[in-house]
Structure 1
């Protein structure tokens, strides 16, 4: 298989956003930057392996249902084995999705230019003119955080608080890196946080990502994402910012604390959304009713203090007004501080 210059070097747009000379906030509309693919990246020269559809059909045994790893909002993922023996995850983009080409390009252009130990690696793809749009990722062996909190893995063995804390820090690290690179993930959820055999995080799910240049205040876009994780202010104003990812990450933190799904229609009406339930319980000093009892919240003083500190941080992330939420860099540093803190020695923590 050949490696080729990825489709073409992105051309400069005839018009680029100019920094505002006034104090007014300004934004990017969908007509200006509908996605990452609209932005000129002068230093980017994508080199990515292009696979044929037949190769990937063979790798997945014609997309055998027995090899299906999961379904997502943008496509179905199958386990495969390449001709060179590499185990891979092949994403088959949904044919009936009118935005499938945009999502396909988003994942390629973000993952082919960014490198971070907690981002999933992209091996290649089919041509965008192929009969099917297929993406080839490294295979992450241990499923997602959602699997370990709510799925089959959870029934076998629950994750310790120490493991959950590491997952929170590594996910925050990946997000802080994206934000420093002017990228909004736009679909943070526990099913997008993959785990390898050693429980190291590999963040995936970049189909909805957006560029967020430093000289603008927000991106105007029709609200998309996963119910239970969507920033309420973004839903109302249609203005997407990095703080929208912060809100979603707050939901992830509370899932790690509680082992409860982000949305559960079997819960009482005011508790269907985990974000609402968590905010109410934290405000009412009832965190103990929310925490997964398997974590040792009642029996281990250090664990109780760490979980309480993480819940307090999640409370900040889940504020309805984005200005009240911290940055991902702050969240990352605070999580590291909580992990390092000697709660047993500090009686005031």
Structure 2
């Protein structure tokens, strides 16, 4: 749970970072913040860097010094003045909030502040949110509460109104490249695809880099998509086996499918190779673009989006995938 990253190491989010540094500089910390943005955008990382600076014994520093006792404890993940509440299962319960409130009632042990990070706060139950509201209305002077959320509309308006909101924007392609280079230290094979796939979200890029199987899965998905064009029902049911084996990665697989059809559309309508997401597959894309009508590609994109919605609504997985495959196979 430690953090050895400082503000200067964070790529992008300049508006958020500069604002937080001004807060530290002016000693104008408020009692509650919401960091909102897509999953994987870096909300939790920035929250930890901010927390480390707040807990540091050097009160005049804009970065954690990493040498004082609070910093050393923070880096080892054992600082009692930093409390992280994460989901266990699908939601954060009222009991989770009550446990945190018990800790808030205890004064800081090593620092002037105690920092509480509620990760995925939009997963709090209504009861949990109402319970948290009591603390936000009358917080101890030493407490700083940071909530991260993908969907802030899931938070009560009364909670949002008592917090300072920071919206995390998507990174530029160049910022994603910088993130990748920080991790890998060098250029990476397939980097153009990874940058495009990440869609401005560093967490997506990191997951791709750390997944040894992802590029192999992409090859298999593209192979299945091209075969569907002239397949029969038996081959469709055979193809389902791949989707069953990779059920845990279905969101990524659907993304791959959407981006491949998007590239086919671009190749067919514009014929521009330099804006393909799967730029390393341009020969395959250009070779197959003429096999599809534009209306068919649009229908295929809609079928995939429909399958994603149905899966999120907990529809029968096998039925959803098989229906999608049959729609993709149709002339």
Could you state the TM-score of these two structures normalised by the residue count of structure 2? 0.28
Task: Point out the structure with the larger helix share.
Answer: 2
Flag the structure with larger Rg.
Answer: 2
Could you state the TM-score of these two structures normalised by the residue count of structure 1? 0.26
Task: Point out the structure with the larger strand share.
Answer: 1
